[in-house]
Amino acid sequence: MTRKRAKVMIVDDNDIMRTLLRSILRAESYEVVGEARNGLAAVEMALNLKPQLVCMDVVMPEMDGLEALRAIKSANPEVKVVMITGNASNDNVQEAVRNGASGFIVKPFNAAKVLDTLDRVLAGAGKA
């Protein structure tokens, strides 16, 4: 699977972060299929849209990213989830990996970092 066809969902409670990620992804031919502001909406949206990749903030209202990660992965184990955080503590990283996260992006990020992480996650998923 190449990035040209990868369907991506963006989940972040910060409008500016979602806009930034959307512009980075669209500039590189990713298909942004949906956006959510909290984990609750993300879980529902992931069930309906079936993205191949979810970029999700850890800290959000209503349901945090780690809870949403567990729910999304239990409903669709094939989906790749990349967590985005401003606080990449060992506990956060370990819990996310235990719950099925495929990668981590630490804020503040730049386009190269985002694309490199997503390319590695998709390359690792190439035959899944």
Q: Inform me whether the pLDDT recorded for 2 exceeds 90.
A: no
Strands 80-85 and 103-106, sheet pairing: parallel
Q: How many helices (H) and strands (E) does the chain have?
A: 5, 5
Tokens of 116: 């490199």
Q: What is the mean pLDDT of residues 33-40?
A: 97
Amino acid identity of residue 22, one-letter, is R
What pLDDT was estimated at residue 83?
96
**Do 49 and 34 contact (CB within 8 A), yes or no?**
yes
**Do 115 and 24 contact (CB within 8 A), yes or no?**
yes
What pLDDT was estimated at residue 4?
64
Mean pLDDT of the chain: 92
Q: Inform me whether the pLDDT recorded for 21 exceeds 80.
A: yes
pTM of the model: 0.91
Q: Where are the domains of the chain?
A: 7-123
CATH architecture of 7-123: 3-Layer(aba) Sandwich (3.40)
Q: What is the mean pLDDT of residues 54-70?
A: 96
Is 68 strand, coil or helix? helix
What pLDDT was estimated at residue 87?
81
Please write the tens of the pLDDT for every residue from 68-104. 999 999 999 999 999 999 887 888 889 999 999 999 9
